[in-house]
Structure 1
């Protein structure tokens, strides 16, 4: 049961507790931990995003459940947490990308797009009457080279070589720390991403996996036959 001090400070996003905590942001992070995981691995010439998309019912159309999103030709987002919150942030990222094309006639950098989304999340940690977004994002893209960023519900960003968000993310990151050994080809990055996802999810099935890559040639969803071959190799 919450103590009296916590109850006094967890009702608003704009109030710090005496020990410097924003409880609503921490609750948003807990919501992310309940979501099915997404992992990202940065290789020498690519970024691989892999997501677990559980089939909650055989009546659900698999194509209607999305966790990986193309933002621009060279940027993609993977998410864990509340799907509706993710949709709002993906729309924001896509508008930011299009604004850059319209205003300057060129693609926005991965760093700039990440920052624009993160700034929006940060506003919701200091705005009365609003709650933080209950989702965390992995932003993978290719500028002069591959890049992989994480955006936390607080609006904080970090750049990673390999990362995971959602349920089991800690286990996946530990696996990455043990297994990540550059340089990684696109095939190596795909194999490592599936290994991390298999670590995060018990009894992972290839039917519940969605994978996309971003390279100098752009965003691409990994074809089923290639995914099945890579999945079988990593889960034997």
Structure 2
């Protein structure tokens, strides 16, 4: 085996053997080197790759036992909230109390006499009127009772009848009269004559035109017509 047999020189056979041995050695060594290199890279990559991230653990709340409430005696350190002081309110303006009405003087009143109808027959019982009006600018008080009222029927200057004759029942009635206010008073006349002492016989007036006057106290009306047909 160490001595080749053949027609070729022995050098050729030795060269072939050496080449074959070298090829066999290479075929055996190369796979080993390749496997060794891959394993190292795997190990290296395994060493360099980050380890799996561990989930962060949430710290659990620490249970603190409840403490009893304590009243603090220290002054608070927080600044007090600023507040805008409200504007001082104006006190409501009250109307002055109404003045007490004064007594009506004669020049504060206008007295008007009249009749309810334009004319009457001698047998009628005419209704006589008296209007009291406050012609001043202020309210006033006047006694408008029967003690101050009086109507009279006249024929010229002759007094024929008066409401205060005979069946006269005086009474007082204080009344406030506002500025411009009119108060109407009335009396029914029997149609008969009378005198202050009720001593004369009473008679009916004949048809004609007569005058009536009215007064409240000393405030007197002008004449008004009384017509009997």
Q: TM-score, normalised by structure 1?
A: 0.21
Larger radius of gyration: 2
Higher relative contact order structure (alpha carbons within 8 Å, sequence separation ≥ 6)? 1
Greater helix percent: which structure? 1
